[in-house]
Structure 1
Amino acid sequence: MSLSRFESMLKTNDVYFFDATEFEEIVQHYLNIGKHTLAKKAIHLGLDQHPHSIALKLLKVEVFIFDDNFEDAVKLINQIEAVEPHNDEVFFQKAVILSKYKKHQEAIDVLKQSLDYVEDPIDVWAMIGMEYLYLDDFDNARLNFVKCIEVDFEDYSSLYNIVYCYEMQEDFEQSITFLRKYIDKNPYSEVAWHQLGKQYFELEDYENALKAFDYAVIIDETFIGGYLEKAKSLEQLGHFEKAIENYLITLELDDPTAFAYVRIGECYENLEAPGTAIEFYKKAVYEDPLLDKAWLLLINLYCEADNYNKALYYINKALQIDDSNIIYWRKYAEINSKLNFFDETVKAFQTCIELGDVDIEVYLALADVLIYLGEFKNSIKVLIKAKNTYKEFAELEYRLFGLFMIQGEEQYAFIHLKNALCIDCEGLSLIEDLFPSVTENEKVQRIISQFLCN
């Protein structure tokens, strides 16, 4: 009724009277549904009718904070504090503002002061815990979240945060001990069993992880997270058919996910059923076209079967969706190389470099393709560019030596040969592979012999 009257008032420009509590409820409603402009109007009109309402002023502080208007928020909270210094919300909002300024220890001090005045300390402990998390003080954070759990055993937010603290300290054993004690008091908590299983999984104790996830899904037969983790544990234990069964359950319980399709596909790969794996990878890329792992798994299976035409078809589809994906371009280069489409191979490696891929293997592969195509000058340019990043790399030097010899520029060639021999004399076989005629040169043989004798 209050909301309808308020919205009617806005439409007609009439002024209706509401008591302060009604305005508070209207403001809270708009804040909860994200309509901050209407919330601000309600606060403004509310304070016009009830200028001394502390609750409305505190809501105004909340809106200031939401808008990152901390200066006005501080001014108003100081005015409120002068009137009601022990108001719960005054402490909370002061702490929020301090936290926004990254003054987390000061926020903690304010929240600790509030404990002398608040009736229900759970929210305060939770806020203190979060401030300690910002400081990476996981011990003190955990202690405050534990206080919340002791009062409310179903405070799963605090439970997650306790486990998170243990995980950040990589103390999985203590996390298990805590969760075991928690489960002794609350044995039908699927969330606790699920978290316990994840701790065992981190320790690679997959048998105990599986037992914990089993309990989680027994307690809640619709617990998708439990089935997913159970399936992952079964995979680790080599029970791929059972893992598939659990992944399929998640698809029945909720909308299909690319993640589940990919995991099922990998299970079928492990069962040596590549045809079925391919079908699930296709479902995965249909469900999430941006999931590069699914595309690559699909393409790799075609490559393993030497079906490079199919592989090329799907890598082209992947590139149509994301043409800035370096991994795709590398795969595109590999496939075109297998099909002897060397111009496309060159294009792929050049694109990798343009996209910021400075891996030495990309430079070397591109240079080698250009050598094969007889584009010696372009190959030299690529290798010189690589030398800007890789100052002392024997494989670069040997290639530059061979290329300069082919170009008849012995002076430069011998400089690179000596550089290569100083870095790694065992790389001489590379010359024989790429430039067999060069090794017959008497000057080259003399330099190599002199170096090896020394």
Structure 2
Amino acid sequence: MNHDFPSFNEFNEDFEDLRDLLQQFENLKEGRSHSFLDEDSFEQIIDYYDEHDELNNAMQAVEIAIEQFPFSSALLLKKSALLIETKKYREALQLLEKAAVLDSNDINLYILKTDVYLAMNQHEKAAKLLEEQIKVFDGEDRTDLLLELADVYDDWEEFEKVFDCLKMLLEFDPTNEEALHKICFWTEFTGRNEESIRLHTSIINEHPYNQLAWFNLGTAYQGLKLYEKAVDAYQYAVVIDERFDYAYRNMGDAYIHLRKFNEAIEVLQKHLEVAKPEDVIYEAIGHCYEKMRKFTQARYYYRKASHLSPNDDKLYLKIAKAYMTEENWENAIKSLQTAIRLNKQNLEYNITLGQCLLQIGSDKEALVYFLNAVRIRPGSAAAWKELIRGLYLVGHVEEAYAQLEIAEGKIGRKPVFLYYKAVILISMGRTKEGLIQLETALQLHPRQFKKVTELDPSILQHNSVVELIARYRRKR
């Protein structure tokens, strides 16, 4: 029977042979008698030492080898590679020039030269060298040179040219996996989605069963927000390869944008079957259930996400908000306390926790968190608004007015402040001033009248307020 792959015995023989070669080399160094080592044997010895990070031994071996085979370009390339590893770039370049005279058809010559130019920060030279050789070489060699050139442009931060280079490569070698993987990222990075669609459509016409081409087509459509078309492309990708986890992930995202939450959940569940569970997938499923107002399921998946990522404070806010929609304040508070333990300086957590504490009558505690919010970001109108509202709702009306004046001094007369001031003045018995304030607010920001009712709906029981609003509506 004829096998293409090496058997255990063959591996064993290879290992014995290598050990034999290393022993021969030791004998040669020590001046003891030894068998003749041919060029191929030297290459194996050099590779062995190089792979095991024994650079001194590798260098010694390559120097002895070159003495014996001075016209071997392969050995000169090996020595150049070792010189590059030890950062001796000038010497490496001189050797490469010498190797080029002996054999200019070895692609490694150009790849090593490129490495030297990059190490010396000479990107232009590296790019020029590879561009010239791409015209000379064909087949796999051209593919390798184009991949190398893409890396040079990346290193040089010529990002548009990275895309051009990968596109050229795929026009020449349409099923190259490395290029297909890379161009997906660079399409998104450069935003060249239309070109990517044309390129991958033509690849698919020739190779209809290439799942990476279908996937890249999907991401390009997604980049243009054409989510229906993106979903179609991903579906082809997963029909060809039903364990293609990234296609399920992206398809889930596209369905979420289309607000097709059931379909999104289905494909994200599929992702969980074929790949290692990830917090972002659980979180996305939670988000879908939240959008469908299925808060128990939403919390279940947010929890699963938080088990995988226990330091992600945002997840605890999401769990809390799912409780808040059901007016389950106690549990919302527990989640928010965890979020704040992880991230004390977060404005939203402090504000939200204050709001929940107000709901259960823990007024003093609530005010502490509103004060924290103002301290964290003194320029935030939202933080001031909550502090003023909190003080007003718990009956500290004078203090609410004082803080409102301070807020206006710090960040100016925001629309919400004008309405709040009107309500506070009226409830302090300064009705005339309050009405003047309310009229100003209605003139400047009529759409924001709801700020009045969110602070104190009972204000609408004042005849003078109702008359003013009616008069104002008639005018408009």
Is the TM-score greater than 0.5?
Answer: yes
1:260 to 275, 281, 286: 281
**How does 1:312-351 map onto structure 2 within 5 Å?**
312-351=333-372
Q: 1:213 Cα deviation (Å)?
A: 1.5
Aligned length: 404
* Residues 1:276 and 2:297 are matched in the alignment: yes
1:258-283 CA-partner distances (Å, limit 9, x unpaired): 22222222333344422222222222
The answer on whether the counterparts of 1:230 and 1:243 sit within 8 Å (CA) in structure 2 is yes
Percent identity for Structure 1 against Structure 2:
19
1:48 to 16, 41, 60: 60
> Using the alignment, how far apart are the partners of 1:286 and 1:294 within structure 2?
10
Query: CA separation of 1:193/1:425 partners in 2, compared to 1, >3 Å: closer, same or farther?
Result: closer
What residue in structure 2 maps to residue 307 of structure 1? 328
What residue in structure 1 maps to residue 72 of structure 2? none
| SS state at 1:84 partner | helix
Q: 1:311 Cα deviation (Å)?
A: 0.2
Q: 1:186 Cα deviation (Å)?
A: 1.1
2:316 to 292, 295, 306: 295
Given residue 265 of structure 2, which amino acid in structure 1 is its aligned partner? Answer: I
Query: CA separation of 1:115/1:348 partners in 2, compared to 1, >3 Å: closer, same or farther?
Result: same
1:332-355 CA-partner distances (Å, limit 9, x unpaired): 233223334344334434544665
> Using the alignment, how far apart are the partners of 1:193 and 1:299 within structure 2?
39
What residue in structure 2 maps to residue 83 of structure 1? 98
| SS state at 1:149 partner | helix
RMSD, aligned α-carbons: 4.6
Q: 1:207 Cα deviation (Å)?
A: 2.8
1:29 to 30, 51, 54: 51
| SS state at 1:47 partner | helix
Q: 1:305 Cα deviation (Å)?
A: 0.9
> Using the alignment, how far apart are the partners of 2:324 and 2:404 within structure 1?
28
The answer on whether the counterparts of 2:351 and 2:386 sit within 8 Å (CA) in structure 1 is no
What residue in structure 1 maps to residue 125 of structure 2? 106
* Residues 1:207 and 2:228 are matched in the alignment: yes
Q: 1:379 Cα deviation (Å)?
A: 9.1
* Gaps in structure 1 of 5+ consecutive residues: 31-38, 65-71, 404-416, 435-454
| SS state at 2:242 partner | coil
Q: 1:295 Cα deviation (Å)?
A: 2.4
> Using the alignment, how far apart are the partners of 1:50 and 1:182 within structure 2?
45
Q: 1:197 Cα deviation (Å)?
A: 1.8
> Using the alignment, how far apart are the partners of 2:257 and 2:158 within structure 1?
34
The answer on whether the counterparts of 1:261 and 1:283 sit within 8 Å (CA) in structure 2 is yes
The answer on whether the counterparts of 1:370 and 1:379 sit within 8 Å (CA) in structure 2 is no
Given residue 218 of structure 1, which amino acid in structure 2 is its aligned partner? Answer: V
1:60 to 82, 92, 103: 82
| SS state at 2:327 partner | coil
> Using the alignment, how far apart are the partners of 1:348 and 1:332 within structure 2?
7
Q: 1:117 Cα deviation (Å)?
A: 6.7
| SS state at 2:91 partner | helix
What residue in structure 2 maps to residue 20 of structure 1? 42
Give the TM-score normalised by structure 1.
0.71
1:198 to 202, 210, 219: 219
* Gaps in structure 2 of 5+ consecutive residues: 1-14, 67-74, 425-435, 457-476
> Using the alignment, how far apart are the partners of 2:159 and 2:332 within structure 1?
48
**How does 1:435-454 map onto structure 2 within 5 Å?**
none
What residue in structure 1 maps to residue 240 of structure 2? 219
What residue in structure 1 maps to residue 111 of structure 2? 92
What residue in structure 2 maps to residue 245 of structure 1? 266
| SS state at 2:282 partner | helix
